[in-house]
């Protein structure tokens, strides 16, 4: 019961206190066995990823509306339904029984009969579930893949039906754990050998150098390869952004936390020169400092700074300025399924902030230097529209062609990466050069 009990506590924290699932999991998994931790994680992410679909099916078997049920009954039903419909390794009777016990432990014993009846009916009829209405294309896809309808509509306009469905489907798959090798400390082969010695399954990334795909890591901090600074966790898309940026002896990372692109830049340059990594918040700066120390990177220096506020001492001072701007995060839905709960109107102000940071960061690029703008979203209004507007008012800057490893290859100044096409996070990269 411990895995399911902790899963319920995490889902409650997300719903009631607005906690992020990944952060809550880090807190709640510490006392669980590896097997229980794995089950707890799978239930939490599975329920959040499939919530709309689970609610659709449950509503057909429950006499009461789910949002009218007293907490935490709705989440207990969702957890039971997820196990019945998606986890083949969990017997149906176990999913029902443990859900009923959770109801009793939560002090809702009077509802045990309701939960038992709904889930048992779901077990009986799971091979003949009600069809999702398909007349409204956006509504169908929204329910089928549990994404907000406003986002589905936006994607249909961008990608069409086939591309939209492929993107939505990819967001409901479990992404791999991807590690970048710290080549200042070891080779990819040495990192892989250290990981395998501790029981981690390791594959080389099929096309990205010094990149490893990991399975069975458990708690990363227990691994000697991690403690010794042989690697850091970073999606291929963020690594590609660092590759697109190129090298420079003096680098400014404007919105650096948690530090991955600063680490990549330092490693690419053999830990030479200077990298200034900025963030508004001291706790995030401490995280960057801790990561750099673990990796043994001495070229990284942290600074508390607001990317929108001009610093005269930085004018024309950097060969390379990185702007990984705050964004909607719609490219990382497979890792942070909680993001799909965002409302469309919460995103309206983001381009204003992004434009302000980009505008300010441009002052810090020396003549002949590089300005790289990136986001982990796929919406043009946060990407191409922002950089296009910037270039329209800054003729001294122009997009510059860059090259990424095959099969991606050449990009004409900008590129959007998609999980269903590139097996990366959804990510936008734009490289601009300031004329001499």
Q: So which residues are the catalytic ones?
A: 376
Alpha carbons 176 and 34: distance in angstroms, whole number: 18
Alpha carbons 223 and 291: distance in angstroms, whole number: 15
Helix ranges restricted to H, 87-187: 92-105, 112-125, 137-145, 149-171
The alpha carbon dihedral of 242, 245, 248, 253 has a sign of negative
To 10 degrees, the CA torsion angle through 212, 215, 217, 223?
Answer: -40
Closest CA to 390 of 330, 321, 311, 306: 321
Alpha carbons 266 and 237: distance in angstroms, whole number: 17
Helix (H) or strand (E) segment spanning residue 80:
helix 73-86
Contact criterion met (CB below 8 Å) for 230 and 182: yes
Question: What are the backbone angles phi and psi of residue 233, rounded to the nearest 5°?
Answer: -90, 125
Question: What are the backbone angles phi and psi of residue 251, rounded to the nearest 5°?
Answer: -125, 140
Helix (H, G, I), strand (E, B) or coil at 17: helix
Tracing tokens 């009600």 back to the chain, one arrives at 130
Contact criterion met (CB below 8 Å) for 82 and 47: yes
Longest Cα pair distance anywhere in the chain, in angstroms? Answer: 75
Alpha carbons 413 and 402: distance in angstroms, whole number: 6
């Amino acid at each position: 019961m411990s895995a399911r009990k902790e899963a319920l506590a995490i889902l409650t924290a997300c719903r009631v206190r607005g906690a992020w699932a990944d952060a809550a999991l880090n807190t709640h998994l510490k006392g669980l066995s590896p097997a229980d931790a794995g089950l707890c994680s799978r239930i939490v992410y599975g329920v959040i990823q499939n919530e709309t679909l689970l609610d659709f099916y449950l509503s057909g078997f429950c006499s009461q509306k789910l949002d009218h049920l007293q907490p935490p009954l709705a989440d207990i039903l969702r957890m039971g339904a997820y196990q019945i419909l998606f986890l083949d390794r969990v017997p149906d009777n176990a999913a029902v029984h443990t859900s009923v016990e959770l109801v009793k432990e939560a002090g809702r014993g009077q509802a045990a009969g309701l939960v038992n009846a709904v889930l048992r009916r779901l077990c009986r009829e799971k091979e003949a579930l009600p069809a999702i209405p398909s007349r409204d294309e956006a509504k169908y896809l929204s329910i089928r893949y549990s994404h907000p309808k406003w986002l589905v509509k936006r994607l249909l306009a961008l990608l069409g039906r086939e591309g939209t469905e492929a993107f939505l489907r990819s967001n409901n798959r479990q992404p791999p754990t991807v590690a970048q090798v710290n080549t200042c400390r070891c080779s990819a082969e040495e990192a892989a050998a250290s990981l395998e010695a501790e029981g981690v399954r390791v594959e080389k990334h099929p096309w990205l150098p010094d990149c490893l795909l990991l399975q069975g890591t458990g708690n990363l901090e227990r691994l000697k390869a991690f403690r010794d600074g042989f690697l850091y966790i970073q999606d291929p898309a963020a690594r590609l952004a660092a590759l697109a940026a190129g090298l420079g002896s003096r680098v400014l990372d404007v919105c650096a936390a948690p530090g991955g692109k600063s680490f990549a830049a330092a490693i690419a340059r053999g830990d030479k020169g200077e990298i200034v990594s900025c963030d508004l918040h001291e706790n995030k700066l401490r995280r960057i400092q801790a990561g750099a120390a673990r990796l043994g990177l001495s070229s990284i220096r942290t600074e508390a700074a607001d990317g929108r506020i001009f610093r005269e001492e930085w004018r024309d001072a950097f060969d390379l300025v990185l702007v990984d701007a705050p964004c909607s995060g719609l490219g990382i839905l497979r890792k942070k399924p909680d993001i799909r709960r965002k409302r469309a109107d919460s995103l309206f102000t983001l381009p204003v902030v992004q434009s302000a940071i980009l505008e300010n960061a441009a002052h810090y690029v020396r003549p002949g230097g590089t300005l790289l703008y990136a986001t982990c979203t796929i919406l043009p209004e946060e990407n191409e529209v922002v950089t296009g507007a910037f270039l329209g008012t800054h003729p001294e800057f122009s997009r510059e062609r860059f090259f990424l490893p095959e099969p991606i290859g050449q990009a004409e100044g900008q590129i959007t990466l998609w999980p269903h096409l590139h097996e990366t996070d959804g990510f936008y990269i734009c490289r601009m050069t300031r004329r001499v």
